[in-house]
Amino acid sequence: MFGSLDTFLHETESELIHSRLLDAPAALVWKALTDPKHVNLWWGPVEFKNIDVQQDVRVGGAWRFKMAGPDGKVYQNKCTYLELVEPSRLVMDIGDDDAVVFRSTITLSEEGGKTRLTMGAKLPDRVTRDTKLKFGALESGQKSFAKLEAHIATM
């Protein structure tokens, strides 16, 4: 019994989970998450912009982009698609060309004509998770979801 508890605690202590109920069908949310014409308009922290985008949306494909911050600093990003189950599940490794920083699992589920978007980030360890929390990762995630919600309203 305690062996299972140890496994559970180890697996959950390094995760961050964001969730939001969106007033849109899952098919539309899926399009906003996977169509390069849409995802690059809202993805990322508030006041950041995706530039130099190359996106191959298929299992094994990569999404490479630079994220330009309001201070002019540019961050290299690379996401590798591991699983695409339209319109309900998207799994990708996120990092840059040097390393994977975390694995993101996104699920979409219908709830009374709306879609529950849940995004989990599996980080290497609890210290990394706690550092991200300290610097506002959950708040930043909710602001990104607000950007997504505003974008969906224009689609």
Q: What is the pLDDT of residue 8?
A: 42
CATH code where residue 54 lies: 3.30.530.20
Asked, for residue 8, whether it belongs to a domain, the answer is: no
* Angle at CA of residue 33, ends 28 and 35, nearest 5°: 85
Asked, for residue 127, whether it belongs to a domain, the answer is: yes
Helix 126-134 vs helix 137-152: crossing angle, to nearest 10:
70
Asked, for residue 18, whether it belongs to a domain, the answer is: yes
Total structural domains within the chain: 1
How buried is residue 53: exposed, middle or buried, by Cβ count under 10 Å (0-12/13-18/19+)?
Answer: middle
Closest CA relative to residue 108, chosen from 13, 25, 38: 25
Structural domain range at position 43: 14-152
Q: What is the pLDDT of residue 137?
A: 81
> From the first residue on, what is the mean pLDDT of each consecutive set of 10 residues in the chain (155 residues)?
46 84 97 96 92 97 96 96 98 94 96 95 88 82 92 97
* Angle at CA of residue 106, ends 59 and 12, nearest 5°: 115
Asked, for residue 6, whether it belongs to a domain, the answer is: no
- 74-85 and 49-55 strand pairing: unpaired
User: Rounded to 5 degrees, what are φ and ψ at 60?
Assistant: 90, -15
Spatial neighbors of 108 by CB under 8 A, at least 6 apart, are 26, 29, 30, 87, 88, 89, 115, 116, 117, 118
Q: What is the pLDDT of residue 75?
A: 95
Q: What is the pLDDT of residue 68?
A: 96
Distance between the two ends of the chain, CA-based, in angstroms? 49
Asked, for residue 125, whether it belongs to a domain, the answer is: yes
* CA dist., res. 104 & res. 133, Å (int): 16
